[in-house]
Structure 1
């Protein structure tokens, strides 16, 4: 017999909450229940929504006085404007959803009113919020949440890691969570990952990613039928990021990094102090830009790239909201900044740059075959490729450098390995010497790679998403089955795996040699006595795995190699840098603060 539980369709339903009293007193030291945390988060959420709606009302009145319609305010808005935004909700509101959120605010305000409110009441709900449907046999336990439409979105956003662990303890390794109108089924057991990853026919990723990217970077979706085979043609180009072509582009990256470090050497006659994230961003952005798109021939080429970088940083700050489908009109100057960035990549500008990569040239050649793809659209694609190249690599480089400087024994081991390689290959270090590294030599730097993998384990927070293309039963190990409906999301959250004490001893501690065993790379990790196929997943999985992961790893290794070969480096500030969870689910987390370090040229003893 089927139970009333899962909420996909529009049917009358009463939202209820277990009897619970919300503490409105002074003592904030006591441990809050999950419901109390949700109420607290809801209050903060309401404040943001009120401010945003006030801004929207002002804009609407302004448009009205000019005789314009609401569609002029949000020309690309659709009714489901926030339906694809499970990650970030503090600005999650658009013109077409005002009627949705005003009744929501009334419900939440009444629920969160002070003084203490007895919560055993049921709240009638109809229209958009009415959503009860029969839960089918075989479907996982559903965590619905009491806030209309949002479900568990607020508590999930606050601390997804803790929330998912708590649900796993209560419900087991498979459960569904209602988050911002979406039903996301989480698979928590890493031994079951393979059954999701290999099932690419029923569980699709590319269409979801295409829609998100097209809205974020302002180009027409590849799947809209106007551009036959464009997606497949672009995918084939990733061959330039593997094998021999990877060696070529890595060599160019090494040369460009050395040019930048040589310039840094000329400035660092004594100790130079900089902010670490800003330093990593400056070096990695310029080296990546020149490697991919070519050198700006103007005398002020460095200045031009710095200006593009500064705009990129401003855009990147809004990326989580754009990825969550927040209208760009609500994000301050982001729309203007995005347009300016895209204009840098118009053909008349790119033709002036010298020495671009084959992968970018191949993309240009393909775009020229599609007449319906305008010049602005092509430029937007190039800008999106730039973001994909550096958006996660820059923070990952920061964390690798930060953890090395935080742990002197790690720094010493990696530097000894670097010095040994230079000595064994007869290469000299210093601003006037070019260092050449083969792929084999890079791969054999086991301490460097282990330290890098360890920092990736600790700072990555990607959520691997697939969308069910039809109603079907996903078969898992141990004769387990999961009933999924068309449109349901299924998610792997590798951060849970990365911080599992069964897999990694003392997972919250940085251990630079965690991925080394008997002097060689360690690739065997166990859980419950069984060998894991997947134990480190910073680059996604299966069809959603980052195609540029090999280049990204090479770039970060080369950055750290040259930094430690040329400079003595040390932290200036003794403060803890923590993960900023605002990008939860989107890749590498940023630091919550920047930190000062200093560097100077190493004495030439070789």
Structure 2
């Protein structure tokens, strides 16, 4: 009798515990967990993460959770979730990125958490719109040097052609280093020792095989994406002949027909070429990052669900920008849609979230846009292009940063006469 009652008690106990957990989780988002404890859905998610996110949204609705490698990752895909993501005080950006920061540039977590706000404020001030004029000359000078190295004609994979431009931006790190003395007045000697440690660590992380734009503790995330954005912008322009024609006519009207002179390009010049900025922003919309993240510090309510503390809360700019509710005909390259944005007041289209938002939007976004616009204007002023390959597909397995091409795209280029 005893041997019969013990297994029955265990079964009943497990059933009660299961029902209790089910009741407790009734108001949590639906969870995709897989069959293997701790591992969860990592294999399905890792195989094609961007596709997995969209399929989960279609199946489970605007809020859902994925359990992978012991972590709960909750996605929001509609306005109600976006408002919480950017405005809730129960969410934290630093805690969401402290692990990736440590793995990428070996900055200890305690140092990152201590100095993130300080460095963010520093870079936000250095890169604000009213300061951009001081960078134009340096940007144009470096670009002229890189383009000269290409010669008068040739053929090349376009991504490699554009990537040459990134090798001349060491001066950005120097700008950061020169800003350190400005902080000395208000810091203790111990604080300055730690700040110098950050600087030295950043120097060690600027090898050519690393993303050099981690030079300010990943606060210039947009800058590390400048090369792929410039690449995709040129690609989209070349594969849309009417846009290419209008770009070339605009450049000729501002800078003249020939492409031999070492022209200067100012912000005022770029204002006369609004189509270039529209093309850059439309490109960013189409190749936006797969995810941006926050850490849930205290439970938050989204729609009818409660997202528990400890979850990573994520949204996907890549898919938000492909929602026809926010961007009609989302798969089409339509730079003219940006005519509706109030760019004179530095306002993007609603639900354009490639640069993040809330308390910590990307501090380098205005500088990144400026240097990409200058690159596009200068490369089309100097060269004519002939496409040799079909339009390259994006690598949809990329979750962090701008999408990269899955196949090469070669072009012939020739100096304009």
In which range does the TM-score fall when normalised by the shorter chain? 0.7 to 0.9
Structure 1 residues without counterparts, runs of 5 or longer? 1-11, 15-129, 294-355, 526-531
| 2:353 is the alignment partner of 1:537 | yes
1:451 corresponds in structure 2 to 279
Secondary structure at 1:168 match in 2: helix
Query: Deviation at 1:556?
Result: 0.7
Give matches, 1:589-600, under 5 Å. 589-600=403-414
In 2 relative to 1, CA 224–520 (structure 1 residues): closer, same or farther, beyond 3 Å?
closer
Q: Render the CA deviation track for 1:362-416: whole Å, top value 9, x for unaligned.
A: 1476599632554753534665227746431111111111111122112111122
Residue 382 (structure 2) aligned to one of 531, 551, 566:
566
2:306 corresponds in structure 1 to 483
Within 1, Cα distance between the matches of 2:332 and 2:222?
29
Residue 139 (structure 1) aligned to one of 20, 28, 32:
28
- Normalised by the length of structure 2, the TM-score is 0.81
| 2:165 is the alignment partner of 1:287 | no
| 2:230 is the alignment partner of 1:397 | yes
The total of aligned residue pairs comes to 383
Higher helix fraction: Structure 1 or Structure 2?
A: 2
Answer with 1 or 2: which has the greater Rg: 1
Query: Deviation at 1:184?
Result: 1.6
In 2 relative to 1, CA 457–370 (structure 1 residues): closer, same or farther, beyond 3 Å?
same
In 2 relative to 1, CA 371–241 (structure 1 residues): closer, same or farther, beyond 3 Å?
same
Secondary structure at 2:352 match in 1: coil
Residue 437 (structure 1) aligned to one of 236, 258, 266:
266
Partners of 2:226 and 2:368 within 8 A in 1:
yes
In 2 relative to 1, CA 197–420 (structure 1 residues): closer, same or farther, beyond 3 Å?
same
In 2 relative to 1, CA 203–255 (structure 1 residues): closer, same or farther, beyond 3 Å?
same
| Pairwise CA RMSD | 3.2
Within 1, Cα distance between the matches of 2:181 and 2:361?
23
2:139 corresponds in structure 1 to 253
Within 2, Cα distance between the matches of 1:183 and 1:167?
15
Residue 275 (structure 1) aligned to one of 145, 154, 157:
157
Within 2, Cα distance between the matches of 1:432 and 1:168?
52
Residue 214 (structure 1) aligned to one of 89, 93, 102:
102
In 2 relative to 1, CA 221–165 (structure 1 residues): closer, same or farther, beyond 3 Å?
closer
Secondary structure at 1:462 match in 2: coil
Partners of 2:33 and 2:40 within 8 A in 1:
yes
Within 2, Cα distance between the matches of 1:222 and 1:363?
20
Which structure has more relative contact order (CA 8 Å, sep 6+)? It is 2
Query: Deviation at 1:437?
Result: 1.3
Give matches, 1:363-374, under 5 Å. 363=180, 370-372=192-194, 374=197
Partners of 2:232 and 2:283 within 8 A in 1:
yes
1:496 corresponds in structure 2 to 319
Query: Deviation at 1:491?
Result: 1.1
| 2:243 is the alignment partner of 1:420 | no
Residue 361 (structure 1) aligned to one of 178, 197, 217:
178
Query: Deviation at 1:570?
Result: 1.8
1:473 corresponds in structure 2 to 300
